[in-house]
Amino acid sequence: MRVVTWNLWWRFGPWADRREAILAVLRELKPDVVGLQEVWAVDGGENLAESLAHDLGLHCAWWPSPAPERWQRRIGDHAVGVGTAVLSRWPVVERAVLRLPAPAELDDGRLAAYALLDAPGRRVPFFTVHLTSGGHAGAVRGEQAAALAEFVDRHRHGTAHPAVVTGDFNARPESPEVRLLRAAGLRDAWALADPDEPSGTWDTANPYVDHADGEPSVRIDYVRVGPPGPGGLGRVLAVRRAGAGPVDGVWPSDHAAVVADLADTGAATAPQTPDR
């Protein structure tokens, strides 16, 4: 099973050209399930997640932000919403959403979303999330990560497949908020990546990334997976970045995507590498 997570940079920059670049990357990847953050939808018009799903032949589940006003002021258009989505090769048979806790001055309606996927022979509990951004917001993200862990725990039962949690955490791997999810049993798929491969999903090579603070490229987007099921079901087989360069001269987003391949059968497998 191929899993992708990607923050699509909402309606910023050359969004129409970026939409085609995003579609091209996803067509090449041929994912089974995609967690998307910062997805735009126009009142009475196109919903990016739904249009991508249509073009890719996938099912779509969409959750709009309940507080898009801060986003809308940034582009001066109150007809454009923002939200979170899951695209899936298989039907979504159950769904739920959690508005993440945040103080009023930082609350822009960020969400954690759950979709139970009716894959052949198994159901997959899939989650995607977008935590609050900003280096000053670590404590807020810590509260959000704790809420996310509880949300996952409430919905991960009834199937042998481990929970798959994706998203933009806006935090480095060593941060307390990310370590909290590791303590909750959600292991970082990137632990199996080649350590010599570039890992930054917020990459200073990307022209959309703000270089003003002088920070190096960092990994803030994740695929995290619970312990494998019987015989290694859901075991991480491979992980890498995608969308980490221009497509026909256009960078798809300010984030690179993360791609993870998971074992979709319970065949006997070697034990997983511990999370690092």
What pLDDT was estimated at residue 270? 39
Q: What is the mean pLDDT of residues 149-178?
A: 97
* pLDDT, tens only, 77-104: 999 999 999 999 999 999 999 999 999 9
Average pLDDT, the chain: 94
**Do β-strands 257-262 and 2-7 pair in parallel, antiparallel, or remain unpaired?**
antiparallel
What pLDDT was estimated at residue 211? 66
Q: To the nearest 10°, report the CA torsion of 70, 73, 41, 1.
A: -50
Domains and CATH numbers, the chain: 2-262 (3.60.10.10)
What pLDDT was estimated at residue 268? 37
What pLDDT was estimated at residue 214? 58
Give dist(CA 208, CA 150) in Å, integer: 34
* pLDDT, tens only, 198-254: 999 999 999 999 765 557 899 999 999 999 999 999 999 999 999 999 999 999 999
The pair of structure tokens assigned to 59 is: 């099912």
Maximal CA-CA distance, the chain? 54
Q: What is the mean pLDDT of residues 182-203?
A: 94
The pair of structure tokens assigned to 121 is: 């022979």
What pLDDT was estimated at residue 265? 80
pLDDT band at 142; cut points 50, 70, 90: very high
Write the secondary structure of the chain as one string of H (helix), E (strand) and C (coil): CEEEEEECCCCCCCHHHHHHHHHHHHHHHCCCEEEEEEEEEECCCCEHHHHHHHHHCCEEEEEECCCCHHHHHHHCCCCEEEEEEEEECCCEEEEEEEECCCCCCCCCCCEEEEEEEEECCEEEEEEEEECCCCHHHHHHHHHHHHHHHHHHHHHCCCCCCCCEEEEECCCCCCCHHHHHHHHCCCEEHHHHCCCCCCCCCECCCCCCCCCCCCCCCECCEEEEECCCCHHHCCCEEEEEEECCCCECCECCCCCCEEEEEECCCCCCCCCCCCCC
Q: What is the mean pLDDT of residues 245-270?
A: 86
Q: What is the mean pLDDT of residues 48-64?
A: 98
What pLDDT was estimated at residue 271? 42
